[in-house]
Every structure is written in C-alpha cells, then in structure tokens.
Amino acid sequence: MNFDHLQKTDPTLFWYIQEERERQETSLELIPSECIASLSTIEALGSPFTNKYSEGYVGKRYYWWNEVVDKVEQIAIDRAKELFWVEHVNVQPYSGSPANFAVYNAICEPGDTTMGLSLVEGGHLTHGHAVSATGKFFNAIQYGLNAEGYLDMEQVEKLALERKPKLIWCGTTAYSRAVDFEKFGEIADKIGAYLVADISHISGLVATGAHQDPVPYVHLMTTTTHKTLRGPRGGMIMVTKKGLDFDLELAKKIDKSVFPGLQWGPHNHQTLAIAAALWEALKPEFQQMSHQIVKNAKALAKRLIEHGFDLAAGGTDNHLILMGVGKWRGQFMQDALDVAGITMNKNTIPNEPCSPFHPSGVRMGTPIMTMRGMGEAQMLQVADWMKRVFDNVSGFEYSEDKQERKRILQEFTKHIQEDIELQTIRKEVAELCKGFPIYQ
C-alpha cells in the first residue's frame, strides 16, 4: 500500500499509518471482532465514491447524477442476497449498532417490550442494556446462561411466555457456543414476536456453513461487515422469507427506518467496499478460510484446557474463546499479553465474581490469525505463550481496597515494562509474524 499524497501533504498522519501497520504486522491480534480487510476492499474504501451525496435508495434519490452509485448499491444488495439467501437487504447502515437501532425503530414503539441476552452474559449493549438507548426507550428484559455456560433456552421460553416481548434478539458478542436459532424460532412463533438474529460476530461463518444458518428461523438478521465477513466497517439489515411471510411490509419498514428515519446520506465508498468484500466471500477460498477459523479456535481452546485454563462453556463452536484467569486478573492478563505482542481484551465471564470494569476473564478469537494463513500448529504455539505470560503475572491480584489496588497496579506496570521474559516472548511473536505477513 502506498500513501504518496498523504506523505507529502501530512507526514504526521503518514507516519501514524506506518506505525500502525508495523504494529499489526509484528504482533498477534486475537480480538475476535477484528479482521484483515483485503487490499481490494481497502482500495474501494478509499475511492472517489466518498465524494458523492446520494440520499435515498436505488432509483429513488434526492440528488442528481447517482446512476453509478445506484449500480454499486444494487450489486452490493445482490451479492448479499446471494451469499445469505435472503429476500431483502439494506446495505446503508453506518455500522452494527445503527443497524440494530433501525430494527427497533422499524418494529417497536417507545415502551414496547423487547428481549435480549444480558451484556454480562455475553450479549451486546444494543440488545437492551440499561446504558444503551435500546434499554432507555424500550422495556428491555434480559435472559442469561445456564450453569454450564450455555444459553438458557428454558429461561428464554419462560420469559417470552410471561412477558410477551414484541421483539426478541438472538445474538452474542462474547459467547463461544453455537446459537440454537431453531429453538429461538419456535419460541418467537409461540408468542408472535419478531425474531432478529444479530450475526455480527459470526456472519462469515454463517455464510459458509461453519455455523448454523438462522435464515429459516428468523424474520430479520443484522450484521456488521468488518468481523468474520472480512469487509470494511459497516452494517447490513436482512429480511428473510419468513420475515416477509410474517409481515408483508417488513422490508419497507426497514428501509424507511434507515432512511429517512435515522440516517441521511449513505457512505457510498463504504457501500462499494462492502460489495467488494461480499464478492470475495462468495469465493471457495473464503469458505475454506471460515472453516479454518473454527478449526483454529478449537485447537487453541484444546491447548489452553491442557494448560489448566478454565474456558467458558468448556470450549468453543465458533471463532471465539472466553477464558477465566482468576479473580481480578483479566486486566493483568490483557496488559501483560499486550507487552508480549499478543492482543486480546479483558472480559466478564459467566457468573462473574468481580466487576465489569475489573473482570476475571479475557476474550479472544482466531479470525485475524487465520486470515494471515496460520493453522492449528500456530494456535498451539500461541496457547503456550499465553501460559508463559500467565505464569509470569500470576502473583499479582487486585485488591478491593482502593489504595492497595493503586499500589499493586503501579508494581504491576513497572514489572511488565521491565520483565525480560515478556520481552523474550515479544521477540518470538514477531519472528512468527514474519512468516505470515498481512499484506504481501
């Protein structure tokens, strides 16, 4: 990738690009919600389509000279329909959260009852959490997990029958097992609720058969385009045949909710990049990669268990692993791994004994490592590094006393900045990364 013009006009920003590219190339990204967009997608995102205003939809714009924009948006829609086997697609949402709110706006009135997975149990803020607008404007009830760490479908059914939500969300951001969309469909049908699958994390897996397909069981699907779908940052809303059979006006409601209900001008360069990513997702190579993501996650999980780590729900069926590392230690593990060149995020675990701000778990995934060409052998190596890092910082533990906690954090920060073992692992990680460059 060349940024010749930026280098001349704004060398500071050019340097930041080089700095970030170097960081990505020499470290291991295990954040499960991140991907490596292809060079074709990045080129599309930086195209002159960013110059054009085009409120409205294909053939129905409020500005002139959108004939080419119409072609781009239509091909993005057609490719999404082909990839996911759905009846209607809106590709204009700026991202996943706006897409989710557009669904609420299309279906619900303020105060309507909705239902989604609790944030601390692995759900998303936009599925009804109190700090989100989706919890503020709607009567949001939350379901959780059972004692084994799986979605508690008995609780889902009980709450649905008792509270009669108008809208039910089935989707997760920190859940490592397969979602039983069929059971969710049965429950929603019993009470006549709209059922929406938020597949943002698993859309690439769903599209390639690496995860159960929600299409036969749900009325709507929402997704980001920048996770396992390996596209630019954006969002889509899809209406299924079941959705149109349930509500003939559903597609029109969705489109009207996105524009003019919540957004005005679509990001045409983003739409072009989504179309480019969808074209790649239709290729056999993408299908192979998606299945390898799951294989890699299973291999990583197995090795972590062998090292004595406690995994939520005992393992994984998808791209994601949620792992407990002991009371208060999520922050320590995250920060120490970062020094060692391995990036993941602290996260709550089922039955979290601590607070969401200082959780006892970490969340990781295999999409980016797989997109770089790594396989099961590399996953074993990564797990071994994680064990070494854990052993290195296992003596540190948060205190509930504020002053004591401050002292411990200062000691910990000094330790990870100076520790030779963490620096050794950092060099080993960088050496591995040389063999799997992000961009050739």
Please report where in the chains the tokens 């998303």 appear, as a residue.
124
Look at residue 39 and tell me if it is in a domain. Answer: no
Catalytic residue among 53, 112, 327, 419: 53
For residue 5, being part of any structural domain is answered with no
Residue 1 lies in a domain: no
> For residue 338, what are the contacts with CB-CB under 8 A and spacing of at least 6?
none
Q: For residue 261, give both structure tokens.
A: 């209900």
Determine contact, residues 132/104, Cβ cutoff 8 Å: no
Is residue 55 among the annotated active site residues?
Answer: yes
Residue 138 token pair: 């709607």
| Three-state SS sequence of 349-360 | CCCCCCCCCCCC
State how far the Cα of 39 lies from the Cα of 259, in Å rounded to an integer.
Answer: 30
**Residue 344, in any domain of the structure:** yes
Q: For residue 317, list its beta bridge partners.
A: none
In the beta sheet, which residues pair with residue 114?
140, 167
Please check whether residues 237 and 298 belong to one and the same domain. no
Same-domain status, 160 and 301: no
Closest by Cα among 348, 356, 382, 354 to 368: 382
Whether 86 and 111 map to the same domain: the answer is: yes
Catalytic residue among 121, 152, 198, 317: 198
Q: Please compute, for residue 97, the number of CA atoms within 13 A of its CA located in the half-sphere on the CB side.
A: 9
The reply to whether 280 belongs to the active site is: no
Q: How far apart are CA 226 and CA 235, in angstroms?
A: 8
Same domain, 306 and 256: no
Claim to verify: residue 176 and residue 313 sit in the same structural domain: no
Q: Phi and psi of 379, rounded to 5°? A: -65, -35
Q: Report if residue 98 sits inside a domain.
A: yes
Catalytic residue among 227, 230, 298, 303: 227
Last residue of one domain, picked from the residues 258, 281, 304: 281
| Residue 306 domain flag | yes
Q: Domain for residue 440, yes or no? A: no
Residues 229 and 315 in one domain: no
Q: Where residue 317 sits, what CATH number does that domain have?
A: 3.90.1150.10
Domain shared by 272 and 185, yes or no = yes
The answer to whether 94 is a known catalytic residue is no
Q: What is the pLDDT of residue 70?
A: 97
* Residue 384 a catalytic site member: no
Give the full edge-to-edge strand order of the sheet including 320-324.
Answer: 310-311, 320-324, 361-365, 345-347
- 179 shares a domain with 50: yes
What are the Cα distances from residue 43, in Å, to 20, 273, 368, 399?
18, 8, 19, 49
The domain that holds 102 is classified in CATH as 3.40.640.10
Q: What is the maximal distance between C-alpha atoms in the chain?
A: 65
Domain that holds residue 219: 44-281
- Residue 29 is inside which H or E element, if any? strand 28-29
CB atoms within 10 A of CB 16: 12
303 belongs to a structural domain: yes
Per-residue pLDDT tens, the chain, 440 aa: give them.
789 999 999 999 999 999 999 999 999 999 999 999 999 999 999 999 999 999 999 999 998 999 999 999 999 999 999 999 999 999 999 999 999 999 999 999 999 999 999 998 999 999 999 999 999 999 999 999 999 999 999 999 999 999 999 999 999 999 999 999 999 999 999 999 999 999 999 999 999 999 999 999 999 999 999 999 999 999 999 999 999 999 999 999 999 999 999 999 999 999 999 999 999 999 999 999 999 999 999 999 999 999 999 999 999 999 999 999 987 688 899 999 999 999 999 998 888 777 777 888 999 999 999 999 999 999 999 999 999 999 999 888 777 788 888 898 899 999 999 999 999 999 999 999 999 999 87
> Which listed residue (25, 34, 43, 55) is catalytic?
55
Residues 384, 356 share a domain: yes
For residues 277 and 298, membership in a common domain is answered with no
> Which of 224, 271, 343, 370 is flagged as catalytic?
224
Could you tell me the CA-to-CA distances from 155 to 124, 163, 171 in Å, in that order?
A: 18, 12, 16
Q: Which of 225, 258, 281 is the last residue of a domain?
A: 281
Same domain? For 69 and 140 the reply is yes
End-of-domain residue from the set 225, 251, 281: 281
297 and 274 belong to one structural domain: no
Domains held by the chain: number? 2
Please identify which of the residues 79, 177, 233, 298 carries the catalytic annotation: 233
